[in-house]
Structure 1
Amino acid sequence: MWWQVTQLAKPKGIFDRELEWAELARFAADDRPGATLGVVSGRRRQGKTLLLYELARASGGFYFGATEATATESLRRLGEALGAYTGAPGPVQLADWSAAVDALLALGRERRVTVVIDEFPYLVRAARDLPSIIQHALTPGRPERTESRTRLLLCGSALSFMGGLLAGSAPLRGRAGLELPVQPLDYRAAATFWGIEDPSLAIKVFAIVGGTPAYRREYVQDDAPTGPDDFDGWVVRTVLNPARPLFREARYLLAEDPDLRDVALYHSVLAAVAEGNASRGGIAGYIGRKATDLQHPLTVLEDAGLLLREPDPLRSGRSSYRITEPLITFYQAIMRPAWTALEQRRGADVWRRSQRRYLSAVLGPRFEDIVRQWAIRFADPDVFGGIVAEASAAILTDPSSRTSHEMDLVALGEPPLGDGPRPLLAIGEVKWGRRLGVPDLDRLRRVRGLLLRRPGVDAAGARLLLASAEGFTDDLRRTAAELSDTVLVDVARLYAN
């Protein structure tokens, strides 16, 4: 594959991230004349700094990590770093940010140089015109750009800010040759990273900490469950332990984004979603606001990467919301309602009382999401009779009986090139704590029958998927073995190659 061939070998200390490293290495190795710009974004704790620091080191480049400081102090720190990098007898004197950007471009006059500015939003907070200054510096035809081969990478964790850096009429729109998001590890990579081989245990851990690499090391002091019997103990001594950094992390995730000003409102919105209120109306009812008042907070949470809006593929104009960060779901559902008791170190009691809530509000929904990820990313196309382009939950309304049918999985294929319905590859039932049987398969058959008459989708070849962590009845297994349109997925299959 193309991403396996790069001029810079990925350091052994970086887990996974082959695609991200390959993109960064290709950008840094671009030998064309002229300075170029790249933007790297992602929530905190995903390993962006490690990636960029190692890239700068491997390529002999320059790395500067910004901090919260005044413009004057930031310029002084940058000048000191430039002086040390170039071997100058002292700090480089930078009169203003225009001079600073030109000094960074000047590093690439003699050779191709990777220049990393980490935590770029801190600099812009002190110097609002910095993006415009960079835009001007990268103006086509300007000698400072054309005579340089600086590969300038701007990195930041404030997703709402970084997302707007290249959008719409932003100054840097059209200037970047690389726009790289660094996402959390997927559920399979996370299991490997945590060293967990038991599939059920891996899902339970992922449902709490997700795929954020930092939560494996510093935040729990390398404490991982030793096996299925150690899971409850691990939760109490790490996630619910006030002495561990992970205990307050979900709160800090909201406090760190500068666009999340009304923190109480955003916590309430997230709590509503964690309680199963996925629609805008449901969220509004939970927090006591009008649905029309939620446009701004929902948009801000989406821009911050904490909330995801998923259109319902079967109901035009309808959508549902889900929390993207598992730790926030766990905090809102389990920790926030019992915060005082947790601070009093009664984590074991809280956890014992929270089992039913954990299964329904945390583990069950995350298991559904994992099955949808599997359908899109890991399942063989032959399983569904085609490549799954989208997978989501959906609600089908039967107008004749005025009943609604909830589906945990609706897998759609690629849109047709011309006019015509979109192929519906599969519908599914996903349950964590219940064995599935023939009645569940019969229900899916009835729903598929309704979909055959529905315009907009072609359900003629739709497979029927049943996924369960508890397994399946013998009758269902025998029935499925005789049918080509039925797919059974247990936890082992989700991790099988």
Structure 2
Amino acid sequence: MFVGRDKELSALERRWSSQQFECVVAYGRRRVGKTTLINRFLEDRPTIFFSAIESSASKNLESLSRSIALYEKGSEAFETAPVYRSFESALEAVFALAAKQRIAFVIDEYPYLAKADRTINSVLQHAIDRHKDDSQLMMVLCGSSMSFMERQVLGYESPLYGRRTAQIKVEPFGYADVRKFLPRYSNEDAAIAYGLTDGIPQYLRQLDDGISIRDNIRWNILDPSCYLFEEPDNLLKQELRSPAEYNAVIQAIASGASRSNTIATACHMESSSCATYLRNLIDLGIVRKETPFGEDAPRKTIYRIENSFFRFWYRYVPNNMSLIQSGHADLAADRVMRTISDFMGQVFEDICVQWIWSHNGTEALPFLMLDAGRWWGANPTTRSQEEIDIVASGEKPKTLLFCECKWRSVPSGLQQLEVLRNRARLLHPETSHYMLFSKSGFDEHVAARAAQDGTVTLVDFADMD
């Protein structure tokens, strides 16, 4: 089943329709569905598809030669295809094929090719410069190494800088697309499934919306033989040189450490080494670096686990490993379900942010939103730390929208609104608007207040589709 990706497909379609040379850079985290997206777009279109491998330059040149022969002469020529003398001559052949007709040329896992032959960026640059004005080739460079694609392909110092005609960052699915992916689930179960998988298609494919969330956790995350049980370790080993150290950093953050010095202390490592590990985890989309909304204060910087699948795995799997390994994964799944609402708090905040952006520019919001984020800071009156789930601003910087998101089994009431009002005053807005999001709706008291107060909006999760 193919779900979503309408914007990405439209962007690719526009480039194909130009009938001019195009160089599209498509990148994103592993398992996010880049290759599936490209294959969907290229259905029934003439394509040379070359997937680079983690091997030598000669092996990759052999594979590229076979891909070209497969396009030219069909599958019978695949095994006996002659190998081009160099990547330069292979690229010349590709451009020659696209001289008179529209052809797509995909290099999947491009970072593997660049690692095998460090001159390939320059080779591509020269080939593009020679042929771009009289070619109908649509070249697609696809890669999962976020840091490499952003710095070595899209970056200013890259030989390919200025040669791309478009870039597509393929993101994980949001809640709305996950809802389509699991049509038999209720809204609540689909939201939990979104949290369990971070909206990553490869992870979503492991879930079965014909069984309960509890059974999916039991059989598709906590079972030692299932795909997702060892996925964090496998991903770290695949992407990083020192997976044990990175595992320690993620575990420290999952256990409550949020500042770089406390993370380094928990991992028994130097601050400089910890900073490198954190930067690489940010590049992989596993960790997020945050400062309070509207503030540029490095001393307030914290680190959170951005990937909710990793957040779930590190919260529950290590703490239940003895039960799981001793054959009691059923008991572990029951333990998980007892606190799944606590885990869903941050996930629900993410869903609410998605809802706000999707309704931006409509009557659902009090103004056109230009920026949004989370805020935290000290309350000088109570000398306690306060937090606001979402703060949004628009063209008037002192006009702010403050949001509270509650994933609880009881309706939200006036107390949540008053707490939000009190916290909002800490940011000294000139004009304030308030929005409460609730999984279980609202009691009659806060509903009556919202009906009388034009600055208050209530959003029930049941109405958020």
> TM above 0.5, one fold?
yes
Q: Counterparts of 2:114 and 2:308 in 1: how far apart (Å)?
A: 30
Q: Counterpart in 2 of 1:479? A: 449
For the 8 Å contact 2:233–2:243, the answer to whether it is kept is no
Tell me the alpha carbon deviations over residues 380-422 of structure 1, each in whole angstroms, 9 at most, x when there is no partner.
Answer: 64333112233222114344554432111111224x6xxxxx1
For the 8 Å contact 2:56–2:116, the answer to whether it is kept is yes
Q: How does 1:58-207 map to 2 (within 5 A)?
A: 58-87=44-73, 91-139=81-129, 142=130, 144-164=131-151, 165-207=153-195
Q: Counterparts of 1:461 and 1:316 in 2: how far apart (Å)?
A: 22
Structure 1 288/465 Cα, relative in aligned 2: closer, same or farther at 3 Å?
Answer: farther
Tell me the alpha carbon deviations over residues 45-77 of structure 1, each in whole angstroms, 9 at most, x when there is no partner.
Answer: 222212222333432122122223322122112
Q: How does 1:279-298 map to 2 (within 5 A)?
A: 279-289=259-269, 291-298=271-278
Q: CA RMSD for the aligned pairs?
A: 2.4
Structure 1 28/314 Cα, relative in aligned 2: closer, same or farther at 3 Å?
Answer: closer
User: Which stretches in structure 2 are left out of the alignment for 5+ residues?
Assistant: none
User: Which stretches in structure 1 are left out of the alignment for 5+ residues?
Assistant: 1-12, 417-421, 453-458
Q: Counterparts of 1:365 and 1:63 in 2: how far apart (Å)?
A: 40
Q: Counterpart in 1 of 2:12? A: 24
Q: Counterpart in 1 of 2:308? A: 326
Q: Counterparts of 2:162 and 2:445 in 1: how far apart (Å)?
A: 59
Identity of aligned residues (%): 28
Q: Counterpart in 1 of 2:233? A: 251
Is the partner of 1:313 in helix, strand or coil?
Answer: coil
Tell me the alpha carbon deviations over residues 69-94 of structure 1, each in whole angstroms, 9 at most, x when there is no partner.
Answer: 32212211221221221128652431
Structure 1 204/134 Cα, relative in aligned 2: closer, same or farther at 3 Å?
Answer: same
Q: Counterparts of 2:267 and 2:340 in 1: how far apart (Å)?
A: 21
CA deviation after TM superposition for structure 1 residue 196, in Å? 4.1
For the 8 Å contact 2:28–2:34, the answer to whether it is kept is yes
Is the partner of 2:464 in helix, strand or coil?
Answer: helix
Q: Counterpart in 2 of 1:302? A: 282
Count of aligned pairs: 457
Which stretch of structure 1 is more off in the superposition, 302-311 or 110-119? 302-311
Which stretch of structure 1 is more off in the superposition, 90-99 or 107-116? 90-99
Q: Counterparts of 1:179 and 1:92 in 2: how far apart (Å)?
A: 33
Q: How does 1:262-281 map to 2 (within 5 A)?
A: 262-281=242-261
CA deviation after TM superposition for structure 1 residue 300, in Å? 0.9
Match among 441, 459, 475 for residue 417 of structure 2: 441
Q: Counterparts of 1:176 and 1:126 in 2: how far apart (Å)?
A: 22
Tell me the alpha carbon deviations over residues 281-323 of structure 1, each in whole angstroms, 9 at most, x when there is no partner.
Answer: 4433443445554321111111122222233124322333333
CA deviation after TM superposition for structure 1 residue 276, in Å? 4.1
CA deviation after TM superposition for structure 1 residue 115, in Å? 0.6
What TM-score do you get using the length of structure 1 for normalisation?
0.85
CA deviation after TM superposition for structure 1 residue 253, in Å? 2.3
For the 8 Å contact 1:166–1:173, the answer to whether it is kept is yes
CA deviation after TM superposition for structure 1 residue 331, in Å? 1.0
Match among 195, 205, 224 for residue 209 of structure 2: 224
Q: Counterparts of 2:54 and 2:417 in 1: how far apart (Å)?
A: 57
Which stretch of structure 1 is more off in the superposition, 284-293 or 97-106? 284-293
Is the partner of 1:428 in helix, strand or coil?
Answer: strand
CA deviation after TM superposition for structure 1 residue 133, in Å? 1.1
Structure 1 residue 394 and structure 2 residue 375: aligned? yes
- The letter for the 2-side match of 1:393 is R
CA deviation after TM superposition for structure 1 residue 110, in Å? 1.7
Q: Counterparts of 2:452 and 2:82 in 1: how far apart (Å)?
A: 75
CA deviation after TM superposition for structure 1 residue 278, in Å? 3.5
Q: Counterparts of 1:105 and 1:436 in 2: how far apart (Å)?
A: 62
Structure 1 68/441 Cα, relative in aligned 2: closer, same or farther at 3 Å?
Answer: same
